[in-house]
Structure 1
């Protein structure tokens, strides 16, 4: 009983600053916490008539979905129990038919790549602004997206545009402007808002994608609310004319026929918490703490990412000559668990109810980490050598299923990738199947191999041609 033993230990680290955002139960939606105190057999129920499911027209789930669609200003809303990943795939299949081209940012989550494969869609990937001091992709401007769409349309029509906002690190661009650009070309927008369920719930936070005009929005209630892992929402914008039948067909194809009653209840409880006075007060306190923590760290000379979500703290440790992966290992040994280590930065999820003592303990831990690992010489990162827009040279599914050959990265130039190259987390592919690896890309990938030790091999699978 290896897994059960780990879970039954119930050990709490000094500072758990990782997902789910409920912080190991501290910020769980109150009604959900109450449900979990009951005997598990009481709530582990099938789709009984009085309960129903996300695709049923009657029952408690259907009634709850209608209620929250109205309260949130959505045309329709569906609960999901296969995470934001499953809902993103279902939404993509609702927007595009086999053979269609869909425009996706380079910082897409790999679930969208899987959705393209399942739906026989052609992914058209577009490059993003890049920050060499942190190694991060940045949100595009509306002008950038306009140029991207024009370049993509030159090679054929598009079925939809996918945007990611906020990013894993809490970066939000001009979302309303980006959506307006896509709509100006009569292109529907699917927004991956997995990290922003709380957006718009406080005046200090950016507006939600739904209020900015997105056609379909996917949120993860474990990443930015008080829900359990795998609980998520798919919302249809009030201005979207996409038939509900198309969305529900995608959900039917990709969601389980036996949804967990616990996860469905997690969706409702999380929404109730966000909308309640108690939940808004808790979020406000968390935002206050996040802002104060930033001020303290900046006063001590730490370089932090200028993001738009105070509940995501990203230390640009590259400014101190430290790899985020090395800093993460050092902190883990001392009970501080970050959410996302990357070569240039280390991101922490403060959650809806941050740990006690955070204002004292995290700065203290980061000071010690900087003192132990810092070199004083800032690291810089090279921009990925990518075109503005690009599609796989060989169809995605064909390349992924091709007979692979394993070659060293140094010998990969000129070959077609046969699998994604995807450090995890957060699951953003640096290379997708069917892409031709030119010499500049091969050199850049070798550099990434050095920056991501143990997460990127020095070999790559290529298709036998």
Structure 2
């Protein structure tokens, strides 16, 4: 049992710096109520859906009362706690927004769970491209000007969409004010789902330098991952609903398809504790302090010439390793055995999640590790710019995602797959953003670009691709 073996197991506490998810940082960032619960008699919290407890989809019991209280506290109509992560909530939201045969507008940086939901529900994703930052290989946040261009193409090409999805903030913490984006889509009578999995800490509205939450911008549905950007345990999430564009009954039905009938009482309690924490004076002060501390860390490291990228979210710290000629994947492999464990290694960057806990002496440790890493590398020439994906501004798969996924298929080398329809998703994880969606037709430029990505991600992208036979 390698997970539980006390001396060598992966779950041994105190192994280096927890600069990855969950955001509670291995326990210190958990709310006081959860720490008390977990310190009690083991297993006392492992309860079924007794009448007094209930569950997320039941109208009576403690869970229902807690959800109603959270919705009232944050100014929305309804909310549901989730124990299948943001994945389960996003998929339920998509299936509530569109019926089989309909289409949804969504960005290319949509999480793979959204594409999977489209396949499950017979929904067509109409995918729009994103501004690309060539120095680091990231997509930038979408602003209102970009979205206006997208909508103009959607209308000119005759795409009939029944709703829209936005991602705010990105995995790396790039974000804008979501208000104008939601307003543009509502002007066209489109309901809006916002994947705000990495932005739950925008919700309290305590920092004028952070963008507002999509909840306050009027989005119809918003999903927060409470373990990614709040103080929840792994798998905890919340789905917020407001307005009349999406029927409550459709959401309840979708949630019942994708959520367990035996939800963990511990995880439900964690949902409540995470959301309640920011309603207290102490919890709000703590979050303010963490944001202030993160900005100070960023400023100190920049002063010492560590190449950092600017992000909207100060709780994301991105080393631009490519500026020193170092792959983020190589940097991660070098740092991990030395006790500095990042969240997201990529070809040009290494992203750390500062999370919901204080980080004493982190600046000095990062500077020491960065200098040692640089000294271990033979070259310091910056990596060349990254190539944007060769994609139209708006496109949809040539074949339905679900049909392509389940169709008879064959595997071919990429070079031999030109003109074929993809029967699989190509998706390095993390971050879980698809480079190729089932049902898309492969042209020469797309194949050449994916071959280039394969050199960057040798362990995550195969030399062969499954295509529809």
TM bin (shorter chain): over 0.9
> 1:449: Cα distance to partner?
0.5
Residue of structure 1 in register with 2:351 after alignment = 347
Residue of structure 2 in register with 1:91 after alignment = 93
Matched, 1:254 2:243: no
Residue of structure 2 in register with 1:234 after alignment = 239
* C-alpha distance in 2 between matches for 1:110 and 1:304: 28
Change (3 A) 1:161 1:374: farther
Partner of 2:79: helix, strand, or coil?
strand
Cα deviation digits, residues 90-134 of structure 1 (max 9, x gap): 011111111110011100100001110111101111100000001
Partner of 2:200: helix, strand, or coil?
coil
Q: Choose the corresponding residue for 1:215, options 220, 223, 226.
A: 220
Matches within 5 A, 1:298-337: 298-337=302-341
Residue of structure 2 in register with 1:391 after alignment = 396
* Conservation of the 8 A alpha-carbon contact between 2:119 and 2:400: no
TM-score, normalization by structure 1: 0.97
Structure 1 window deviating more from structure 2 (260-269 vs 28-37): it is 28-37
Q: Choose the corresponding residue for 2:289, options 274, 285, 296.
A: 285
Residue of structure 1 in register with 2:148 after alignment = 146
> 1:186: Cα distance to partner?
0.8
Q: Choose the corresponding residue for 2:79, options 64, 77, 90.
A: 77
* C-alpha distance in 1 between matches for 2:433 and 2:354: 22
Provide the alpha-carbon RMSD of the alignment.
1.4
* Conservation of the 8 A alpha-carbon contact between 1:23 and 1:355: no
> 1:298: Cα distance to partner?
1.1
Residue of structure 2 in register with 1:274 after alignment = 278
Partner of 1:290: helix, strand, or coil?
helix
> 1:303: Cα distance to partner?
2.8
Residue of structure 1 in register with 2:300 after alignment = 296
Residue of structure 2 in register with 1:155 after alignment = 158
* C-alpha distance in 2 between matches for 1:174 and 1:370: 37
* Conservation of the 8 A alpha-carbon contact between 2:86 and 2:225: yes
Residue of structure 2 in register with 1:407 after alignment = 412
Change (3 A) 1:9 1:218: closer
Structure 2 residues without counterparts, runs of 5 or longer: none
Residue of structure 2 in register with 1:461 after alignment = 466
TM-score, normalization by structure 2: 0.96
Structure 1 segments of 4+ aligned residues over 6 angstroms from their partners:
none
> 1:258: Cα distance to partner?
0.8
Matched, 1:168 2:171: yes
* Conservation of the 8 A alpha-carbon contact between 1:169 and 1:307: yes
* Conservation of the 8 A alpha-carbon contact between 2:164 and 2:193: yes
Residue of structure 2 in register with 1:48 after alignment = 50
* Conservation of the 8 A alpha-carbon contact between 2:425 and 2:436: yes
> 1:288: Cα distance to partner?
1.8
Aligned length: 463
* C-alpha distance in 2 between matches for 1:420 and 1:155: 26
Partner of 2:51: helix, strand, or coil?
coil
* Conservation of the 8 A alpha-carbon contact between 1:322 and 1:374: no
Matches within 5 A, 1:3-42: 3-5=3-5, 10-42=12-44
* Conservation of the 8 A alpha-carbon contact between 2:3 and 2:11: no
> 1:374: Cα distance to partner?
6.9
* Conservation of the 8 A alpha-carbon contact between 1:13 and 1:336: no
* C-alpha distance in 1 between matches for 2:9 and 2:231: 20
Cα deviation digits, residues 278-323 of structure 1 (max 9, x gap): 2122212211221111111211223322211111111121111111
> 1:9: Cα distance to partner?
5.4
